[in-house]
Structure 1
Amino acid sequence: MSRYYSSSSSPIKRLLGQDRPLHALFGGGKVADIILWRDKRVSASILAGVSIIWTLFEVLEYNFLSLLCHISITAMLLVFIWSNGAALLGQPPPKIPELILSEKAFTRVALTFRAKLTQFLSLLHYVACGKDLKWFLLTVLSLWILSVIGSWCSTISLLFFVLVCGLTIPALYERYEEEVDYLASRGSQDLKEFFKRVDSRVLERIPRGPAKRKSN
């Protein structure tokens, strides 16, 4: 028996309220592997790339056009050296456009993007129609909160914060799932007991006027 059980021997409720593994909740595909660091090299590369981009634009205040030009110049110099070096060594020149933008890879990315965009627009249309009032109000409230947060910080900083949280919190939760569920369950129980004490010691002692009798 796990040590993360309450005194009443009842199992601790999971924080996400799901019996499925966390990997399945994220779709169980390549994206889930990256978020949960199953593919550590890709996950670390994405996190490092995002951190470098944020540092360039927010910390060093690099201009996007200048950065694009410098990257293009560096790429052209590398291709120039590679092409001429390959000719001197009798090797075929590099075919970079075919390697980067192959028809098969481009078609797969386009179809995936189209499917995700269609799914997102269908969900947005369903919520906007007001068929589920709860989701409609939650969506409006979430967008309003997001707009307020966006007025406090730049878009790049907000995206950086979201991506870093997305690449760290789920992986840490999966690793320490029992500990987090136990602490969350204990915190929820302590909060309920606190409100009960407040209700019994404070709210119930507030004097109330006599109830008015209903006239016949």
Structure 2
Amino acid sequence: MAEPAAAATPRGFRLLGGDKSVHQVLGGGKAADVLLWKDKKISAAVIGGASVLWVLFEVVDYHFLTLISHVLIGVLAILFLWSKATIFIKKSPPDIPEVQISEDVAVNIALALCTDINQALHFLREIALGHGLMKFLGVIIALWILSEIGELSDFLNLFYVAILMLHTVPILYHKYQDKVDHFAGKAHVELSRQYSILDAKVLSKIPRGPAKDKKQN
């Protein structure tokens, strides 16, 4: 005979909500492909680059401005000497493309940032209005974890940990989505039950001021 708790677990519960896939939640673009390791070369390059920067700044104790200056000095010196050497060896100088950011690209970046910021503000507003117990608890837990990590490490370590998590958590959830959603569904049922008890015993008994009469037209 099945246990009563299992029967109460909602079927088809999705931690991300609706029928959206992890790829869609991450934006469905190139960034989502990188985070889900669909483009393994770029994903590995991001992890490798972040690891090199972390080693340089945290282990070797390099400074950011010093590193940027040394890199620019090296690149400019190599290109300058290469261009001068081509005069003596009678070869064409290096083909260095002229890089410019078009107005369309700048506008698209601004629109994308504006959309993401507005979505984040809307999400926070929904939580502030008391909509979505799981969203509220998820944000509170995430902020608490960030606060604890912030006490144990500096910004660079936090940034490096965030890069690693962004390249591991989504792919792990994508791989084990059914199992994670199953346990999340049980947790959702239990939290909803506890919230109902709290509301019945405490919240509903808190005295409230008299409701204001609506103005008659």
TM-score for both structures, normalised by structure 1 = 0.64
Aligned to 1:84: 84
Matches within 5 A, 1:121-200: 121-123=117-119, 132-134=128-130, 138=136, 145=144, 146-147=146-147, 149-182=149-182, 184=183, 188=187
Show CA shifts across 1:117-156 (max 9, x none): 3234435665787894237x95995796445542331011
Displacement after TM superposition at 1:33 (Å): 1.1
Alpha carbons of 1:131 and 1:158: their partners in 2 closer, same or farther (altered >3 Å)? closer
Question: Is the contact made by 2:15 and 2:181 (CA closer than 8 Å) also made in structure 1?
Answer: yes
Q: Which amino acid aligns with 1:38?
A: K
Q: Distance in 2 between matches of 1:125 and 1:49?
A: 31
Matched, 1:115 2:115: no
Alpha carbons of 1:64 and 1:116: their partners in 2 closer, same or farther (altered >3 Å)? same
Aligned-pair Cα RMSD in Å: 4.0
Q: Which amino acid aligns with 1:35?
A: L
Question: Is the contact made by 1:82 and 1:94 (CA closer than 8 Å) also made in structure 2?
Answer: no
Q: Distance in 1 between matches of 2:12 and 2:121?
A: 37
Alpha carbons of 1:76 and 1:159: their partners in 2 closer, same or farther (altered >3 Å)? same
Aligned to 2:215: none
Percent of residue pairs identical: 30
Q: Distance in 2 between matches of 1:75 and 1:61?
A: 22
Aligned to 1:212: none
Q: Distance in 1 between matches of 2:61 and 2:173?
A: 34
**Equivalent pairs, count:** 180
Matches within 5 A, 1:25-64: 25-64=25-64
Gaps of 5+ in 2: 1-5, 195-217
Q: Which amino acid aligns with 2:58?
A: E
Alpha carbons of 1:162 and 1:127: their partners in 2 closer, same or farther (altered >3 Å)? same
Question: Is the contact made by 2:13 and 2:185 (CA closer than 8 Å) also made in structure 1?
Answer: no
Aligned to 1:70: 70
Alpha carbons of 1:15 and 1:126: their partners in 2 closer, same or farther (altered >3 Å)? closer
Gaps of 5+ in 1: 1-5, 197-216
Q: Which amino acid aligns with 1:162?
A: A
Alpha carbons of 1:69 and 1:119: their partners in 2 closer, same or farther (altered >3 Å)? same
Alpha carbons of 1:78 and 1:33: their partners in 2 closer, same or farther (altered >3 Å)? same
Displacement after TM superposition at 1:60 (Å): 1.9
TM-score for both structures, normalised by structure 2 = 0.63
Q: Which amino acid aligns with 1:102?
A: Q
Q: Distance in 1 between matches of 2:172 and 2:32?
A: 14
Question: Is the contact made by 1:54 and 1:160 (CA closer than 8 Å) also made in structure 2?
Answer: yes
Deviates further, 164-173 or 109-118: 109-118
